[in-house]
Structure 1
């Protein structure tokens, strides 16, 4: 979604449904929860005051808002993107690694652009730890349920590696080992040749066993 556009209007242009027409004109239906994503856009861009002033105009008024930042480690994130040949980001004048760093700094509180009850999610931990998922639900004022943990959504074609093959058993996917597929890939190693990215990864995710081989390959003596 582009930060400066009325998404309901764009959706109505492609899917001319009556409820989208009403929403695009500002006739908003009451909603228990509305989730919208600014994936691959810079944090400065999506928090620009010009955009914030149009929030109620584009989305309607909210009783409670949360800014949710979900961060996955750079090794597996990069592997999934390369698998789909999807390395470019939407944010102008930023590379994928620069965007990941910006998200990491916001995650750690070194920047504070996200003002609406910011909740930061460590994707790696979320995947592994039910108690952590329950904690995140509490931070978002949601009743906790793991009912969808094994679903693979169809949006975007599902997993970069398996599509929807693991729908119904998603916890069996090796989402924390995707980096191994690209461990010998020169392009992958070149993109990871960034000391700052490795430093922030360790601070947020700790040491990821086995990935030390990537450091030596990207920085041979």
Structure 2
């Protein structure tokens, strides 16, 4: 969604349902939980005070708000995006790598734009570790359940690599090995030729076995 638009109004234009009409006019229904995403937008943009002042107008008042930042390692994130030829981001004047770096700095607390009970999620660890997922649920004041861990949602067509082929067995997807498909791809290697990105990846995700070959290919002697 665009940071400065009334999402309910946009939804109503495309899906003229009565409940969306009411929400677009500010007649908000009570909700146990409301999640909205600003994927691919810059953190400075989505935390602009002009947007924050319209929060209650567009979304209604919240009893408790969380800012959730989910970060995946750059190797696999980039591979998934290239698979769909989806390298451009929505944030103006930023490349994909610049946006990833901005998220990484916010993740590590080097910047602090997200003010509403910020919860940072290491996607790689979340995928592998049930205890970590339980910890994140606790931080979000949610009752933990792994009930949907094997679902592949239809929105966006599912996985960049398998679509919805693994729906019902999503934990079997090789989401941490996507980089291997592009290990010889010149465009992929060129985009990864960024020392700052590699440094922040190590700080957040540690060493990802096998990816050292990408460092060599990105910087041949």
Q: What aligned pairs does 1:22-171 form with structure 2 within 5 A after superposition?
A: 22-171=22-171
Deviation at 1:204, TM superposition (A): 0.0
Deviation at 1:71, TM superposition (A): 0.0
Deviation at 1:206, TM superposition (A): 0.1
| Secondary structure in structure 1 of the residue aligned to 2:188 | helix
Deviation at 1:69, TM superposition (A): 0.0
| Secondary structure in structure 1 of the residue aligned to 2:4 | coil
Deviation at 1:160, TM superposition (A): 0.2
Deviation at 1:81, TM superposition (A): 0.1
Aligned-residue Cα RMSD (Å) equals 0.2
| Secondary structure in structure 1 of the residue aligned to 2:50 | helix
| Distance in 2 separating the partners of 1:191 and 1:98 | 11
Name stretches of at least 5 consecutive residues in structure 2 with no aligned partner. Answer: none
| Secondary structure in structure 2 of the residue aligned to 1:87 | coil
Give deviations 1:45-96, integer Å, cap 9, x for gaps.
0000000000000000000000000000000000000000000000000000
Deviation at 1:111, TM superposition (A): 0.0
| Distance in 1 separating the partners of 2:98 and 2:19 | 38
Q: 4+ runs of 1 displaced by more than 6 Å?
A: none
| Distance in 1 separating the partners of 2:88 and 2:196 | 20
Name stretches of at least 5 consecutive residues in structure 1 with no aligned partner. Answer: none
* TM-score of the aligned structures, taking structure 1 as reference length: 1.00
Give deviations 1:11-57, integer Å, cap 9, x for gaps.
00000000000000000000000000000000000000000000000
Deviation at 1:201, TM superposition (A): 0.0
Deviation at 1:188, TM superposition (A): 0.1
Residue in 1 that maps onto 2:209: 209
| Secondary structure in structure 2 of the residue aligned to 1:50 | helix
Aligned length: 221
| Secondary structure in structure 2 of the residue aligned to 1:189 | helix
Give deviations 1:178-212, integer Å, cap 9, x for gaps.
00000000000000000000000000000000000
| Distance in 1 separating the partners of 2:7 and 2:147 | 29
